[in-house]
Amino acid sequence: MNLLSAFKEHKEFKKKMPWSFWQFGPEFRSFTTPPHYAETIEILFFYDVEGDVHIGGQHFTLEGNRVFFVAPNIVHAMNYKECKGIIKTLKINPPQLKPLLDLDTLLEYHGKDYSDLSISIPMEESIQAMPDIFATATDINDVLMIILKFFQVLLAHSNEEENITMPSGGDELREIINWTEENFTRRISLDEVSAVFGYTKHYFCQKFKKATGITYLTYLNNLRISRACRMLKAGQSIGEACDKCGFEDMSYFIQLFKKITGVTPKKYVKELNQNI
C-alpha cells in the first residue's frame, strides 16, 4: 500500500548522505500530493505519468518523459491520474552538502540564483542515470559528479528564453500552509481562513486553487488524512487519529480515509502489522 503525500517527504537524511531517492510506480491509482515546501532541493523524474504539476504557482501538464526541478522553499503540488507511469523523486540537502559542494556559490559563479533556474527540462541522456545513482551509490563522488552534471544541464536550459524559471516569491502561500498545519487539529472554516489572510471567501478559494491546482478543502483533508496515517503507524488508535486530526465524525473520517488512501483505517492498520 502506498500513500504518497507531502508529509511523507519530510525525512531525515542519513549521516554522510545528503541525498535521498524514492520511487513510486510503475502503476498507481489517481492521487494528490498536496501543496508543501521544504528546505531541500527536489528533482522529479516522470516516466509516462499523467496529471498536473504546480510549482511556485506555475502549471504544467504531465506527458511523456520529463524532469522537474523544485528549489528550496518553493511550494509545489501534484495531481496524478491513474496510469502505468513511474515517478522517481530525488532530494538534495544543500546545508549538508555544502562542505563538499556549495550550490549557492556554483550558481553565483554563473551569475544566477535559484529564481533563475528552469522548472522543467527534457530528460537528456547525460542525466538519465541520475535516479539510479541516487538510489544505489555508496561513493559520494559518484553523487557529486551527477549533481554537477545536472546543474550544468539545468543552467544551459535556464539560458533559453522560452524556459519558465523558478519564482522567487510565494511567501503568502507558505504562510497559508504553515497556518493550516498549526490549526488542522480543530475545525477550520473557509470563512475563518480567508479572513485570517484578509480575503473574501470567494477570492481566497480562487487564489488558492489557481496556485496549487486543488481546492483548500481538498488540501486540508489530505493533510488530515496524512497525519492520521502517521499516527496509526506510530501505534495510536483509529479513534485517537480521528479526534486529533480535526474530525468530529468517525464515519466521515473512515469514508474520507478510504477515498484518499484506497483502504479503510482498519485495513490500513492490518496491512501495517503484516509488514512488520
Summarised one tens digit per residue, pLDDT across range 99-147 is 999 999 999 999 999 999 999 999 999 999 999 999 999 889 999 999 9
Tally of CB atoms within 10 A around 203: 12
Flag residues of the chain having pLDDT under 70. 1-12, 167-169, 275-276
pLDDT at residue 114, rounded to an integer: 93
pLDDT at residue 165, rounded to an integer: 73
The 3-state secondary structure of 251-273 reads HHHHHHHHHHHCCCHHHHHHHHH
What span, in angstroms and rounded, lies between the C-alpha atoms of 198 and 204? 9
pLDDT at residue 9, rounded to an integer: 45
Q: Judge whether 67 and 130 are in contact, CB under 8 Å.
A: no
- Domains, the chain, with CATH or none: 6-158 (2.60.120.10), 171-274 (1.10.10.60)
Identify residue 154 by its one-letter amino acid code: L
CA 44 to chain centre: 9
CA 18 to chain centre: 18
- CA distances (Å), 145 to each of 16, 40, 141, in order? 16, 19, 6
Helix/strand/coil percentages in the chain, nearest 5: 45, 20, 35
Task: Quote the Cα angle for 113-173-175, to 5°.
Answer: 105
Q: Judge whether 96 and 47 are in contact, CB under 8 Å.
A: no
Q: What pTM, to 2 d.p., does this model score?
A: 0.86
Give burial (CB, 10 Å; 0-12/13-18/19+) of 5. Answer: buried
pLDDT at residue 12, rounded to an integer: 64
Tens digit of pLDDT for each residue in 101-112? 999 999 999 999
pLDDT at residue 25, rounded to an integer: 86
According to DSSP, residue 204 is labeled: H
